[in-house]
Amino acid sequence: MMGGVNQPTSSLEARTIAAAAADPVCAAILDRMPHLGLSEWWLTAGAVFQNVWNAVEGHAPGYGIKDYDVFYFDDTDLSWEAEDAVIRRASDLFHDVPAQIELRNEARVHLWYEAKFGTPATPFTSATDAIDSFASTTCCVGLTRASADGPTGTQIYAPFGLDDVFAMHMRPNRRLAPQTVYDAKVTDYRRRWPSLTSDPW
């Protein structure tokens, strides 16, 4: 099952949005991020798929989530200073939210990725392009919302579908991340969500 940027049209899409929205931190991010005026942004990674796992395993929303990743894309200024300015604005916006919210300009990732992970990265073309590169296809999911839409206007991006997310089954995505990253994530996630299964690299 392949997907893309959609209004929720399937039961799994609606359940994914509901699972994330039940987490007060995710709800605050979806409600407030439009106020930053960014052209493209997505709440992504564990903030979304791990809240689905929480619903599947019966944990409270937000259980086990170490941080909340928000990807945005701005290739008009690749300086750290420009990204830091957005991060500071977001810090002010979420000053009362008791969680680690990490904004990253995905247009800049190729500038530092090789030094951190040992693998060179070609520049991403969008924030969704960055989501496509997660170490597991199961993790490739994001939510966004336009300022005027309200809760019913949440869009979902799931290029590999959502079946594996709800089955709590991880599959490797060899597009960018090395095997060490995938293996480490499987081990780490299984400590918190013991029902998780995985394919080998």
In this structure, how many other beta carbons lie within 10 angstroms of the beta carbon of residue 37?
10
Nearby residues of 107 by Cβ (< 8 Å), 6 or more positions away? 73, 74, 75, 78, 123, 124
For residue 1, pLDDT beyond 50: no
Residue 7 has pLDDT above 70, yes or no: no
What is the predicted pLDDT for the residue at 2? 42
Percent of the chain exceeding pLDDT 70 equals: 93
Q: pLDDT tens digits for 150-170?
A: 556 899 999 999 999 999 999
Residue tagged 């894309």 (tokens): 73
pTM for the full predicted model: 0.92
Distance CA 35, CA 31 (A): 9
pLDDT in tens, 40-78: 999 999 999 999 999 999 999 999 999 999 999 999 999
